[in-house]
Amino acid sequence: MNISIIGTGYVGLVSGTCLAEFGMNVTCIDNNSEKIKNLNDGIIPIYEPGLESLVKKNINEERIKFVTNLSDGIKNSEAIFIAVGTPSRIKDGHADLSFVFKAAEEIANCLNGYTVIVNKSTVPVGTGKKVFDIIKKKNKSVEFDVASNPEFLREGSAINDFMRPDRVVIGCESLRAKKILSEVYRPLYLLETPILFTKRETAELIKYAANSFLATKITFINEIADLCEKVGANVSDVSIGIGLDGRIGKKFLHPGPGYGGSCFPKDTLALVKTAHDYNSQLGLVEHVVRSNDLRKKNNINLIKKASVNKLNGKKITILGLTFKPNTDDMRDSPSLILIPKLLDEGCSISAYDPEGLESAKKVFDDKRISWFDETYSAMVDSDILVILTEWNQFRALDFKKVKRLLKTPTLVDFRNIYNPKEMKEIGFNYFSIGRPEELFL
């Protein structure tokens, strides 16, 4: 089966590689010629565990290729997936669909036989219809369908998520399109993956509803953590206590510095905007967006507390810059708000991230930030150590060594990795989320 994918980012590259691994002939298309050149040279543009070897294997076995030219790329494709970015539009927070529409126009110019065009990008309800209209207007004679197939993979575990998904959602009503998409996902039938066929609009909304629900769970436990600090309760126990209830479930109940990444912030905002457009109430998600934004702005308060309100002139080590571990993605990461605030307060920063350093350096151009390529050297002579992202290598630090390196043994742990009692016992001033110090005196 011949498939093409427009957009070779986190979603396009992973989806294309996994579909090639399933045995399909995949052409990945991107208008970023440097990215395509690198891929053809075996250089992978993103960090995603397991991706590099899988891309190389499928290049060698000639099931995947990378091109910039769309008309060559989509030739003979039975399905064309659109996997371009849909960032927040700066002026109003709506999803910016310009990349999707541009791809649709380019497709329209080149289609010459029946094809299913599949929106894999996260797009607001009604976008599939708009894509259909764009293509129809430009190319009246060709037969085609437009389907929605939202992607649920998570950065950091993207390959497993694509190959063993909880479900596949396909929004389309044409039997011809259904047949082709069933064939694309046939390898998953063996794993008994639920494949949910819906109306196109329903599939579009499922993606936003899923992300907004998960963002709500995170925000809920973050707000409960704040309350725990005020009433002297332990949020870790609250998470376990409620998560063991099968109706609630344990996942996404870890408090932290607020959600970030390329999906939750923009998707919650876009859903709110869609609700406004349709004069529909979505106050819960509106609150989630506000609460999370505020949380990211307030993260500095915990570090202020650890400095006894004397941040000016302090050297702060930040471990973890990406929005979560196992990715180099900096989009909407809490570090993007925290670090400038610390600099404004007169701090200098020593920063380390296992995979995100290069992306972070592109975002921050400030001489007051020193970059390190290893965990411990980033701590030398710092006043406060901050764990912002829970990479595995930060989970079992050698605290004897850490204590020797830091100027003062102070740790602000935004991910609640460590046990407050044990940290106290080994002589650290330890600050975490929703676990007030008096519980561990």
Ligand X SMILES: NC(=O)c1ccc[n+]([C@@H]2O[C@H](COP(=O)([O-])OP(=O)(O)OC[C@H]3O[C@@H](n4cnc5c(N)ncnc54)[C@H](O)[C@@H]3O)[C@@H](O)[C@H]2O)c1
Q: Which residues are catalytic?
A: 263
d(CA 388, CA 339): 11
Single residue of 3, 6, 28, 379 touching ligand X by CB under 6 A = 6
User: Is residue 31 part of the contact set for ligand X (CB under 6 A)?
Assistant: yes
Single residue of 26, 29, 125, 177 touching ligand X by CB under 6 A = 29
Q: Which residue has the tokens 């650290």?
A: 428
Smallest gap from residue 265 Cβ to ligand X (A): 11
Instruction: Decide: 320 and 391 in contact? Cβ < 8 Å.
Output: yes
Single residue of 3, 4, 10, 218 touching ligand X by CB under 6 A = 10
d(CA 374, CA 398): 14
User: Is residue 265 part of the contact set for ligand X (CB under 6 A)?
Assistant: no
**Amino acid making up residue 323:** F
Q: Shortest CA distance to 19 belongs to which of 147, 185, 194, 181? A: 185
Stretch that binds ligand X, among 80-88, 125-133, 139-147, 418-426 (CB under 6 A): 80-88
Smallest gap from residue 392 Cβ to ligand X (A): 20
Smallest gap from residue 268 Cβ to ligand X (A): 12
Stretch that binds ligand X, among 100-108, 186-194, 389-397, 417-425 (CB under 6 A): 100-108
3-state helix, strand, coil in the chain (%, to 5): 45, 15, 40
User: Is residue 269 part of the contact set for ligand X (CB under 6 A)?
Assistant: no
Single residue of 103, 131, 205, 351 touching ligand X by CB under 6 A = 103
Smaller CB separation from ligand X, 9 or 409: 9
Instruction: Decide: 155 and 117 in contact? Cβ < 8 Å.
Output: no
Q: Which residue has the tokens 């389907």?
A: 147
Smaller CB separation from ligand X, 122 or 350: 122
Binding residues for ligand X, how many (CB under 6 A)?
27
User: Is residue 77 part of the contact set for ligand X (CB under 6 A)?
Assistant: no
Show contacts with ligand X in window 126-155 (CB under 6 A).
151, 153, 155
d(CA 217, CA 236): 15
Smallest gap from residue 61 Cβ to ligand X (A): 24
Smaller CB separation from ligand X, 46 or 386: 46
Smallest gap from residue 15 Cβ to ligand X (A): 9
169 pairs with which residues across the strands?
A: 196
Smaller CB separation from ligand X, 9 or 260: 9
Show contacts with ligand X in window 383-422 (CB under 6 A).
none
Q: Residue 171 in 3-state DSSP?
A: strand
Residue-by-residue DSSP string for 265-303: HHHHHHHHHHHHHTT---HHHHHHHHHHHHHHHHTHHHH
CB-nearest residue to ligand X: 9
Q: What are phi and psi for residue 66, nearest 5 degrees?
A: -125, 125
Q: Shortest CA distance to 271 belongs to which of 199, 206, 196, 217? A: 206
User: Is residue 99 part of the contact set for ligand X (CB under 6 A)?
Assistant: yes
- CB within 8 Å of 323: residues ≥ 6 apart: 259, 260, 261, 329, 330, 331, 332, 333, 334, 389
Stretch that binds ligand X, among 8-16, 383-391, 401-409, 415-423 (CB under 6 A): 8-16
Smallest gap from residue 84 Cβ to ligand X (A): 4
Query: Site map for ligand X, 108-127, x if CB under 6 A?
Result: -------------xx-----
Q: Shortest CA distance to 207 belongs to which of 8, 11, 14? A: 11
Its sign, for the CA torsion 38, 82, 264, 293, is positive
Single residue of 21, 30, 145, 413 touching ligand X by CB under 6 A = 30
User: Is residue 12 part of the contact set for ligand X (CB under 6 A)?
Assistant: yes
User: Is residue 359 part of the contact set for ligand X (CB under 6 A)?
Assistant: no
**Site of interaction with ligand X (CB under 6 A):** 6-12, 29-32, 35, 83-86, 99, 102-103, 106, 121-122, 151, 153, 155, 262-263
